[in-house]
Amino acid sequence: MSLYRLLRPLFFRLDPEWIHRFTLSAVGAAGRVPPVRSLLRGLFAADDPRLRVEAGGLAFPNPVGLAAGFDKNGVAMEGLAAAGFGFVEVGSVSAYPSAGNPERPRLFRVPKDEAIVVNYGVPNDGAEAVAQRFASTKLPVPLGINLVETNTGRPADADEVVEELVGAMQPFLGLADYATLNLNCPNTTSGRSPFDDPVILRSLLAGYARYDAMPPTFLKVVPTTDPGTIERTLATMDPFPFVKGIVFGLPTGKPYANLQTPRRQLDAMPGTLCGPPVRELIDASIKAWYPRMDHGRHVIVGTGGISTAEDVYEKIRLGATIVQLYTSLVYHGPGLVKRINRGLCRLMSRDGLTRVSDAVGLDNPHPNPRSHPNPRSHPNPRPHPRRAVDA
Ligand SMILES: Cc1cc2nc3c(=O)[nH]c(=O)nc-3n(C[C@H](O)[C@H](O)[C@H](O)COP(=O)(O)O)c2cc1C
């Protein structure tokens, strides 16, 4: 049994938001000391050439990244990279600082389903403050910034949101290796997304297109299998070469089917459910989107309910090129990423595959309307700019 498993009952007696802050401070402090960083890497990183993968023109040492929400303000980036993640996504960050939702508690454990309900409402220090932390940090893995509209507590005008979200990117230009646009955050107080309207989404992307140094960008959208929505979104992103793919966010509300936790208990927790209960819906979305995408231009970043190598492998075989996780860290601790990466190597060996990228889409054959002559290659893979730096 791992040390984390032994300590978990103690952690679970503490307030979830407090322990989140405490963990970030501890990982942040550990990551700032080079020998401790090396120790963490030795303990938690799985370096294997079979795990290397390219997505959106960036090189990833392994396909398992940290999802947005864990390190919202970029205070523990080095420690997290040393914990073996193939990439780290900071945020969500908004143009202006926000305290998030005022009610407490706003984070709930759902142990019977190994899930979390989150109602933070994207508290963060604001783009300028977080970008300063990016400026003084060098990571051995790609570092992404996840952007969201400021949670003001009131519905915002669509033009204002577009202007604000475009402005939030400015301080990160030249500092973030990639960007994720959190287009359907269920936790901003307005609750609705203006970007369901393709005209507004196009105007947002046109705003970013004016930046010369716009990095590879992923759109974080609501999981859906609806062909009309998929086609509309793909058509809207098509004219913008800096858009490199899709990430699936969380469904609004709680998918109650097949949960172990009684419904009335969940109803007492305001917010959005994360973890294994959302896996099925997101996997169905990957299955529906992948055959419709141009694989030479766009990738899928698979999220949602990953706890094992099998979960990752399933998402990759359905069409994800890289993946992200968060909730399972709370239940399985920091050794999880290494276990998953080792497990992936085992699964590849079993299936006679030599590179993780060879598994992408194997279970999702696609008579592809937007197919590319050489779907696995990117015309211009960029070496990772931070790669040469000490971890
Ligand atoms: C506590 C918590 C906070 C989150 N905050 C954000 C956020 O600020 N921005 C965002 O794009 N996603 C956020 N997410 C969603 C995750 O990035 C991820 O998409 C989702 O949790 C599914 O992955 P998982 O099942 O491995 O947790 C958050 C998730 C959790 C559990």
pLDDT for position 370: 54
Question: CA 119, CA 109: separation in Å to the nearest integer?
Answer: 12
- Which 3-state string (H, E, C) describes 30-56? HHCCHHHHHHHHHHHCCCCHHHCEEEC
pLDDT for position 365: 84
Q: Residues of the chain with pLDDT > 90: what percent?
A: 77
Model confidence pLDDT, tens digit, residues 115-125: 999 999 899 99
Model confidence pLDDT, tens digit, residues 202-238: 999 999 999 999 999 999 999 999 999 999 999 999 9
What is the pLDDT averaged over residues 29-43? 93
Q: How many CA atoms lie within 13 A of 289 on its CB side?
A: 31
Specify the residue with its C-alpha closest to ligand 1, atom 21: 274
What is the pLDDT averaged over residues 189-197? 69
pLDDT for position 366: 74
Sign of CA dihedral 285, 291, 295, 298: negative
Give the model's confidence band at 338: pLDDT under 50 very low, under 70 low, under 90 confident, else very high. very high
What is the pLDDT averaged over residues 260-284? 93
Specify the residue with its C-alpha closest to ligand 1, atom 13: 69
Using CB distances shorter than 6 Å, the residues near ligand 1 are 67-69, 72, 91-92, 107, 116, 118, 120, 122, 146, 182, 220, 249-250, 274-275, 278, 303-306, 325-328
Taking the centre of ligand 1 as the mean of its atom positions, its distance from the CA of residue 89, in whole angstroms, is 10
Those residues with Cβ within 8 angstroms of residue 120's Cβ, 6 or more apart along the chain or in another chain? 69, 100, 101, 106, 107, 187
Beta strands in the chain (DSSP E): 53-55, 58-60, 64-66, 87-93, 107-110, 115-118, 143-147, 178-182, 217-221, 243-248, 272-274, 299-302, 320-325
Model confidence pLDDT, tens digit, residues 52-68: 999 999 999 999 999 99
Length of the chain in residues, anyone? 391
Q: Residues of the chain with pLDDT > 70: what percent?
A: 91
Taking the centre of ligand 1 as the mean of its atom positions, its distance from the CA of residue 142, in whole angstroms, is 18
Give the model's confidence band at 95: pLDDT under 50 very low, under 70 low, under 90 confident, else very high. very high
What is the pLDDT averaged over residues 301-318? 97
- Amino acid identity for residue 348 in this structure: M
What is the pLDDT averaged over residues 340-350? 97
Give the model's confidence band at 369: pLDDT under 50 very low, under 70 low, under 90 confident, else very high. low
What is the pLDDT averaged over residues 66-80? 97
pLDDT for position 367: 65
What is the pLDDT averaged over residues 360-388? 53
Selected residue with higher pLDDT from 381 and 24: 24
Task: Please give the helix or strand (H or E) that residue 202 lies within, else none.
Answer: helix 198-209
pLDDT for position 92: 95
pLDDT for position 151: 85
pLDDT for position 156: 74
- Asked if 246 and 56 count as a contact pair (C-beta separation under 8 A), the reply is no
pLDDT for position 189: 40
Taking the centre of ligand 1 as the mean of its atom positions, its distance from the CA of residue 177, in whole angstroms, is 20
Residue 247 CA: nearest ligand 1 atom is 19
- Asked if 279 and 305 count as a contact pair (C-beta separation under 8 A), the reply is yes
pTM: 0.93
Residue 107 CA: nearest ligand 1 atom is 1
Q: Quote the mean pLDDT of the chain.
A: 89
What is the pLDDT averaged over residues 241-247? 98
Q: How many CA atoms lie within 13 A of 184 on its CB side?
A: 20
Burial class (CB in 10 A: 0-12, 13-18, 19+), 110: buried
Radius of gyration over alpha carbons of the chain, in Å? 19
- Amino acid identity for residue 150 in this structure: T
Q: Is the pLDDT of residue 253 over 80?
A: no
Question: CA 16, CA 18: separation in Å to the nearest integer?
Answer: 5
Question: CA 124, CA 74: separation in Å to the nearest integer?
Answer: 10
